[in-house]
Structure 1
Amino acid sequence: MIRFHGTTLRLIFLLCLLGLCGMARAAPPDFLVDAAWLEARLKQPKLVILEVRYFPHRYDTVGHLPGAVQVQRFKDLGDNDSAVLMRLPSRAAFQATLRRWGVDNDSTLVLYDDSRSVLASRLYFLLVYFGYDMARVKILDGGTIEWSAFNELSKERVSPKPGKVTLQPGKREMLAEWTDVHDRVVARRDPKVVLLDARPREMYSGKIIRHSVQGGHIPGARNVVSLDATDAQSQKWLGMAEVAALYKDVPKDATIITYCHDGFRSTLAWLQLRALGYRDVRFFNGGWSQWDHSLTLPVVQGDAPFDADFSL
């Protein structure tokens, strides 16, 4: 039997405590920045600030960060010609939108919203998908709340000089279509695939029907509410140890497919998982809107991934 002296035990306890504190204070992802970081760079000539508000009219009525260009989350970040709202836009369409915002290949982009990074994450995902240099892209953690604490908003509408950015073809390996979900999750129950529903619990279970024809979720989907990894008051990300705890039951060696109603909460989940080191994370293009509106694909009610029909 190994015996430890009191001094040794205290040292071991101290080292363990320091280790736990280190986990709690784990550095945030390098794409998250604060208001001080942005304020120090406001005069940089290659800086482009992009605002994605939940209520877009507040760009004018409430105000925006100085120099920020307005992004309309539905019109600018989805395929306007698709029968299903918020499938991904084409490369040509999104490239034209970025150029309208004044984006060049060497621009530094700062994205922000007023919705706990949910909207900014969709824009971030699109930039990754179309091959923009992500070392040049940041998200203002806390959005308008973070900036307004010590800085004023502007009501001067910004009309940037058109940019010349050139995007790459979309990285199809980042996406899953409804056929992939039905095949691998519903029909074959592939143990190497985890389907994550990022919506609120009441929508997942079907207790509340909102933005949908039906209530419930895709058979086999687990519910992890991506907004639970953010703080409702400050609108900032929680510490990475807390984010990791939210996804503790999701294996890192699986293919993860995220979805929500219209592709905002699910891109936040995608971003959180990527920040945690998950390697194979995919976005369900069309999400619940596409699955729900088909009216023929199977739907599960309740809190469990499968119901009685799928228990055999």
Structure 2
Amino acid sequence: MHLRTTTPFKWAALLAGLLLFATAAKADRPGFLVDSTWLEDHIDDPSLVLLEVRYYPSRYFSVGHIPGARQVQRFADLGDNHAVPVMRYPSMEAFQETLRGWGVNDDSLVVIYDDSRTALASRIYFLLDLYGFDMERVKIMDGATTEWEAFNDLSTEPPEVTPGNVTLEPAREGLVIEWTDIYRDVYSLRNPNIVLLDARPENQYTGEVMNGAVRAGHIPGAVNVEGLQGTDGQKWRPLDQVAAMYADIPKDKTVYAYCHDGFRNTMAYIQLKALGYEDVRLYNGGWAHWGNELSLPVVMGDEPWDAAHAL
């Protein structure tokens, strides 16, 4: 029997094909996303700080968490507790103190997961980016505990934590905007180089459902893309599917994004940055602020502008 041999040329072509496939697969997912297998391989890394943020914080104890994970209380730990609304961004000093309480140092490997399709985890990610942490050392666990529990147990006991000494930097320029920026640039000047993005569910955008404010509807001029549609269960969809969601938003525009309580807009932030958008800014306060300020204009329906505000 004659055995066929593979020529060096064919081996090289096969290797090139495998490398191309691996590169394409990697490009299809943001570099900051990791999975349960990655975490299993790094769980004993002494620099690892694992953070869990659940929609209902009590489930850290009642349902359990990955062993070693610190509990993040999504409102108390991630907002300005003395501001109105409460989910304005915490000061650098307050967030630094919170991080140190979780044991974070300047060289920590911070891994974040939630039970809300990474929307809650994205808030921590954004705050770390806002205050100058080394984002090469920040990961979000895609799939949360869903895959972890297939081969590993959860714990209901909080870990012992040695306080950290992380040092943050003043807020980076150009990441946070206030209501006055939107009122001036979008509503008054109609700046064509700015896109206002409403990241809430469609029924909140149209005004069918009221949430987070005494008024329903959206800010005049806003277009609606809900970032959670870029996930399938607890996992991100491929980046080409995420890109299709934002296809009508040009990459050369500045994006102002908001939601109702400060989580969906940070998810929009990490999605847009993963897609290559360079200038994305988040409204500090969001609909919980704008919708409660009775003098500010509101539009009902599924169009960015209504007849009263279109001209």
Partner of 1:71 in structure 2? Answer: 72
3-state SS in 2 of match to 1:163: coil
Contact 2:102 2:163 in 1 (8 A): yes
CA apart distance, 1:148: 1.9
CA apart distance, 1:25: 7.8
TM-score scaled by length of structure 2: 0.91
Give the direction of change, closer, same or farther, for the CA distance of 1:248–1:24 in structure 2 (3 Å limit): farther
Whole-Å Cα distance in 1 between the matches of residues 68 and 25 of structure 2? Answer: 35
3-state SS in 1 of match to 2:51: strand
3-state SS in 2 of match to 1:76: coil
1:1-312 map, 5 Å: 26-232=27-233, 235-312=234-311
3-state SS in 2 of match to 1:48: strand
Which structure 1 residue ranges, 5 or more long, are not aligned? Answer: 1-18
Whole-Å Cα distance in 2 between the matches of residues 37 and 24 of structure 1? Answer: 16
Whole-Å Cα distance in 1 between the matches of residues 25 and 164 of structure 2? Answer: 41
CA apart distance, 1:26: 4.0
Letter of the 1:57 partner, please give it.
S
Give the direction of change, closer, same or farther, for the CA distance of 1:127–1:299 in structure 2 (3 Å limit): same
Contact 2:49 2:110 in 1 (8 A): yes
Letter of the 1:224 partner, please give it.
V
CA apart distance, 1:159: 3.2
CA apart distance, 1:282: 0.6
Tell me the number of residue pairs that the alignment of Structure 1 and Structure 2 aligns.
Answer: 292
Letter of the 1:218 partner, please give it.
I
Letter of the 2:157 partner, please give it.
E
Contact 2:119 2:263 in 1 (8 A): yes
Which structure 2 residue ranges, 5 or more long, are not aligned? Answer: 1-19
Contact 2:36 2:141 in 1 (8 A): yes
Contact 1:69 1:159 in 2 (8 A): no
| 1:270-307 Cα distance to aligned partner (Å, 9 max, x none) | 10000000000111111111101111100000000000
3-state SS in 1 of match to 2:180: helix
Letter of the 1:67 partner, please give it.
G
3-state SS in 2 of match to 1:167: coil
Letter of the 2:116 partner, please give it.
S
Contact 2:80 2:91 in 1 (8 A): yes
Letter of the 1:207 partner, please give it.
E
CA apart distance, 1:146: 3.0
Contact 1:26 1:241 in 2 (8 A): no
Letter of the 2:59 partner, please give it.
R
| 1:98-134 Cα distance to aligned partner (Å, 9 max, x none) | 0000000011010000000000000000000000011
3-state SS in 1 of match to 2:232: coil
Whole-Å Cα distance in 2 between the matches of residues 173 and 94 of structure 1? Answer: 19
| 1:187-235 Cα distance to aligned partner (Å, 9 max, x none) | 1110000000000000000001122211100000000011000113xx1
Letter of the 1:280 partner, please give it.
D
Contact 1:114 1:145 in 2 (8 A): no
Letter of the 1:284 partner, please give it.
Y
Contact 1:77 1:88 in 2 (8 A): yes
CA apart distance, 1:23: 6.9
TM-score scaled by length of structure 1: 0.91
CA apart distance, 1:144: 2.0
3-state SS in 2 of match to 1:64: coil
Runs (4+) off by over 6 Å: 22-25
Give the direction of change, closer, same or farther, for the CA distance of 1:136–1:24 in structure 2 (3 Å limit): closer
Letter of the 1:269 partner, please give it.
A
Partner of 2:3 in structure 1? Answer: none
3-state SS in 1 of match to 2:42: coil
Letter of the 1:306 partner, please give it.
W
Whole-Å Cα distance in 1 between the matches of residues 37 and 223 of structure 2? Answer: 38
Whole-Å Cα distance in 2 between the matches of residues 144 and 201 of structure 1? Answer: 28
3-state SS in 2 of match to 1:252: coil
Whole-Å Cα distance in 2 between the matches of residues 151 and 106 of structure 1? Answer: 27
Whole-Å Cα distance in 1 between the matches of residues 292 and 212 of structure 2? Answer: 11
Whole-Å Cα distance in 2 between the matches of residues 87 and 70 of structure 1? Answer: 20
Whole-Å Cα distance in 1 between the matches of residues 25 and 62 of structure 2? Answer: 39
Whole-Å Cα distance in 2 between the matches of residues 52 and 199 of structure 1? Answer: 20
Contact 2:51 2:113 in 1 (8 A): yes
Which deviates more from structure 2 when the two are superposed, residues 23-32 or residues 83-92? 23-32
